[in-house]
């Protein structure tokens, strides 16, 4: 099978046209992301994560696939909407807005800001508009300022059990590479060193070989619901961020460790009964709090494919190849909707869609096309060898 | 079938012994609620909702079933633990504590307070200790003071879409009857009038006959994820609270409307394909945000049984009887664990347990025994006729 061609086709003849056709808000700018099975808009609220991610995606396509004017226009629509509506007076990004840009949910964490910074940096490169580079840089500085207390007054913890969360160092390890043209090398280096250390030395536990979602400040595990939580998809996604950093820094040791870790996570997170990768697990095998723990999510499988493709490019060995085939076969036989296009997001444990939406509060134009693009380009290099 | 005997047996020979055997923390006081399939403690954190509810339950058993010293001792252990550890300096109740009572999660809403007030009032009556009646009254006053801004600084909404939530008036309609001996009639009357009006005139929508989880301040529905949300279990539970108020106030019209509403909710929320009552639904049939929307939860089915039993006692008609049998048969053939006792909490849509826990963060010693008790007593009256 020619994977490069397969992934390219899926991206350019199915997924991107789906979002071009259904998601554009030509009246207020930005995007509809709540799209039913056939692409029909069922809710018009705008979630800042997803607005920013779609700006990023179309800017990236314009820069790296083809300079289609329509792609840049789509990115512009979202970038201007975000700039006009998504920031509070202190430069923090709201979580959600109404269709016309009225703020709905406060900036109660810094993930909206992370995706906005990614979006502005990429859009600045696509459009050539320097003001967006400045915006990206300011947003990034604000993220760093808030990173030790990301929830501010919305933090519900008393401080008596100080667990730190994996999501932030993980996102920073990807964001910083997105900001290569915006930051100076010393700044990049500092955040890379911080996030690689956190991901590989603090959250990755030597004994189990797994990444924990929440650990004590000293990196030890904690026997509580949060402390036992494993999110295989997060771990897998982080491993391809590590490989990207390893390639940038020519750090073969990091690439090797990331590869071994992803194989360990896959082995642990694979559902031996029904196939697919589980969403949440408890490291001690206790019942997780998340009622959706045994569902199969689109992004988890896509990030696994990207991680495996990148690992295989570095180490073309049989075990990685087998895993790639296994995840590829599961994903492509369960998630895509051949009739109406794009992918289902949420399968039950047995692999049947239990929500037929193509987009919602958390699923937008991001994981599917980003992964298809990454797999296409990675296999293009592999298959040319 | 003699339902009274059946429910009494299940309560007194299965469910109560299960919690007596597995949940008591004899070292620090209070209760373990995270119990695995066989009753083994898998986590020791203490969730204030569940601590308070177990105090309430054992106090109630002691008062109404039998004055067993051991039941009062169990209630005392939890009441003293709550009094010593669960309040902040302003009398607000934390959401969770460590095993030894160290606060973990701040008082970010007032539901912990509602269950604490219920617990203290019932425990005061069981133990005769007046200080707990005072504590119940003070907690109740504090709830009323906070009720228009229950989340305080933890509120993430911007105020640009002011939806009000069903849970508070619903809980108040039950809490106020629990506080009969603590409050004066005028206070009781005021809260009854408020909550009945909110439940039956504001959240119950005339056109659909359904109760919405969130409505605009004027009671209109709002076309958004929150505004379209239907939680059939909440509606059913609220309807038996309404029947209790109807009986107290000799308000036959309220009882009739509550009965009709529960039948409408059951008809709407029943899963025609797999049986059982769905957890969350979207009033327009759009995809709900809750990934667990199609699961079957223990408390939903138990509250339906209580509501139907109480309605049947008032109106012994065939339709209510048929519904009772239908829900009874589904519940008793899916939720109980004949091997290890008690009920599973979480079934997947097809009716298979997807978490085998008997207790956790949200499931404690409350809905199962309370409903068994209510059904026992209601059928005792019905079957004596």
Instruction: Please name the residues in contact with B141: beta carbons below 8 A apart, sequence gap of 6 or more.
Output: none
Residue with the two structure tokens 């073309």: A316
Q: What is the DSSP string of B230-284?
A: E-HHHHHHHHHHHHHHHHHTT-HHHHHHHHHHHHHHHHHHB-TTT-SB-S-EETT
Confidence class for position A359, pLDDT limits 50, 70, 90: very high
Percentage, residues of chain B above pLDDT 90: 99
Average pLDDT for residues B40-60, to the nearest whole number? 98
How confident is the model over A142-192, as pLDDT tens digits?
Answer: 999 999 999 999 999 999 999 999 999 999 999 999 999 999 999 999 999
Residue B67: predicted pLDDT: 98
Whether ipTM tops 0.85, in short, is yes
Average pLDDT for residues A208-220, to the nearest whole number? 97
Residues of chain B contacting A292 with CB distance shorter than 8 Å: 291-292
Interchain contact B103–A (C-beta under 8 A): yes
Nearest residue of chain A to residue B106 (CA atoms)? A156
Helix-helix angle B298-314:B232-248, to 10 degrees: 30
Residues of chain B contacting A106 with CB distance shorter than 8 Å: 156-158
Is the pLDDT at B1 greater than 70? The verdict is no
Q: How far apart are CA B112 and CA A206, in angstroms?
A: 39
In angstroms, how far is the first alpha carbon of chain A from the final one? 15
Percentage, residues of chain A above pLDDT 90: 99
How confident is the model over A316-339, as pLDDT tens digits?
Answer: 999 999 999 999 999 999 999 999
How confident is the model over A289-304, as pLDDT tens digits?
Answer: 999 999 999 999 999 9
Helices (H), chain A: 3-9, 16-22, 48-64, 69-85, 111-127, 130-146, 167-178, 185-197, 232-248, 252-269, 298-314, 318-334, 367-384
CB contact under 8 A, A106 and B156: yes
Helix-helix angle B167-178:B111-127, to 10 degrees: 10
Interchain contact A225–B (C-beta under 8 A): yes
Instruction: Please name the residues in contact with A290: beta carbons below 8 A apart, sequence gap of 6 or more.
Output: A279, A280
Residue B247: predicted pLDDT: 98
Token output for B123:
């425990």
CB contact under 8 A, A289 and B346: no
Among A102, A289, A346, the residue with its CB nearest the CB of B291 is: A346
How confident is the model over B345-376, as pLDDT tens digits?
Answer: 999 999 999 999 999 999 999 999 999 999 99
Report all structural domains of chain A as residue ranges with CATH numbers, in order of start: 1-23+162-385 (1.50.10.10), 24-156 (1.50.10.20)
Residues of chain A contacting B46 with CB distance shorter than 8 Å: none
Instruction: Please name the residues in contact with A273: beta carbons below 8 A apart, sequence gap of 6 or more.
Output: none
Interchain contact B151–A (C-beta under 8 A): no
Q: List, in sequence order, every beta strand (DSSP E) within chain B.
A: 34-35, 41-43, 46-47, 96-97, 103-105, 164-165, 214-215, 229-230, 281-282, 296-297, 346-347, 353-355
Residue B7 sits at φ, ψ, to 5 deg, of: -70, -40
Q: How far apart are CA B74 and CA B20, in angstroms?
A: 8
Average pLDDT for residues B202-209, to the nearest whole number? 97
Listed residue (A50, A73, A49) closest to A61, CA to CA: A73
Helix-helix angle B185-197:B232-248, to 10 degrees: 140
Residue with the two structure tokens 């955040």: A191
Instruction: Please name the residues in contact with A89: beta carbons below 8 A apart, sequence gap of 6 or more.
Output: none
Interchain contact B108–A (C-beta under 8 A): yes
Nearest residue of chain A to residue B99 (CA atoms)? A224
Average pLDDT for residues A193-221, to the nearest whole number? 97
In angstroms, how far is the first alpha carbon of chain B from the final one? 15
Q: How far apart are CA A126 and CA B174, in angstroms?
A: 59
Q: How far apart are CA A372 and CA B58, in angstroms?
A: 57
Interface test with B, best of A155, A233, A291, A296 (most B CBs within 10 A): A291
Q: How far apart are CA B253 and CA B258, in angstroms?
A: 9
CB contact under 8 A, B161 and A360: no
How confident is the model over B218-263, as pLDDT tens digits?
Answer: 999 999 999 999 999 999 999 999 999 999 999 999 999 999 999 9
How confident is the model over B313-352, as pLDDT tens digits?
Answer: 999 999 999 999 999 999 999 999 999 999 999 999 999 9
CB contact under 8 A, B42 and A360: no
Is the pLDDT at A1 greater than 70? The verdict is no
Burial (CB count <10 Å: 0-12, 13-18, 19+), residue B147: middle
CB contact under 8 A, B287 and A160: no
Token output for A253:
């040791």
Interchain contact B348–A (C-beta under 8 A): yes
How confident is the model over B150-182, as pLDDT tens digits?
Answer: 999 999 999 999 999 999 999 999 999 999 999
Confidence class for position B310, pLDDT limits 50, 70, 90: very high
> Residues, chain B, total?
385
> Residues, chain A, total?
385
Q: How far apart are CA A341 and CA A17, in angstroms?
A: 9
Residue A151: predicted pLDDT: 96
Interchain contact B351–A (C-beta under 8 A): no
Interchain contact B128–A (C-beta under 8 A): no
């Amino acid at each position: 099978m020619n994977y490069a061609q397969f992934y390219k086709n899926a991206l350019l003849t199915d997924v991107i046209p789906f979002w071009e056709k259904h998601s554009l808000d030509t009246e207020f700018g930005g995007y509809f992301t709540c799209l039913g099975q056939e692409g029909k808009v069922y809710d018009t609220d705008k979630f800042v994560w997803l607005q920013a991610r779609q700006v990023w995606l179309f800017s990236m396509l314009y820069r790296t696939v083809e300079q289609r004017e329509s792609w840049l226009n789509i990115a512009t629509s979202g970038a201007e909407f975000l700039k006009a509506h998504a920031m509070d007076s202190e430069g923090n990004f709201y979580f959600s807005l109404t269709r016309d840009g009225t703020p709905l949910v406060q900036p109660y964490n810094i993930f909206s800001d992370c995706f906005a910074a990614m979006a502005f940096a990429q859009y600045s490169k696509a459009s050539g508009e320097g003001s967006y580079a400045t915006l990206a840089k300011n947003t990034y500085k604000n993220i760093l300022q808030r990173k030790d207390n990301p929830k501010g007054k919305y933090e519900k913890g008393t401080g008596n059990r100080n667990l730190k969360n994996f999501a932030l160092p993980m996102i920073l390890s990807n964001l910083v590479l997105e900001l290569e043209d915006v930051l100076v090398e010393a700044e990049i280096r500092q955040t890379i060193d911080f996030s690689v250390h956190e991901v590989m030395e603090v959250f990755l536990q030597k004994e189990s070989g797994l990444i924990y979602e929440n650990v004590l400040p000293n990196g030890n595990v904690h026997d509580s619901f949060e402390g036992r939580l494993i999110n295989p998809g997060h771990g897998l996604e982080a491993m391809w961020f590590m490989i990207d950093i390893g390639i940038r820094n020519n750090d073969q040791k990091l690439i090797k460790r990331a590869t071994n870790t992803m194989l360990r996570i896959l082995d642990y997170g694979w559902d031996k009964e029904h196939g697919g990768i589980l969403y949440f697990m408890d490291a001690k095998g206790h019942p997780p709090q998340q009622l959706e723990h045994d569902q199969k999510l689109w992004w988890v499988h896509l990030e696994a494919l990207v991680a495996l493709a990148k690992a295989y490019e570095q180490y073309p060995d049989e075990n990685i190849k087998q895993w790639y085939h296994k995840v590829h076969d599961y994903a492509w036989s369960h998630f895509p909707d051949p009739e109406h296009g794009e992918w289902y997001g949420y399968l039950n444990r047995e692999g049947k869609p239990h929500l037929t939406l193509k987009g919602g509060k958390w699923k937008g134009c991001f994981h599917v096309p980003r992964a298809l693009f990454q797999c296409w380009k990675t296999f293009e290099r592999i298959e040319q060898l």
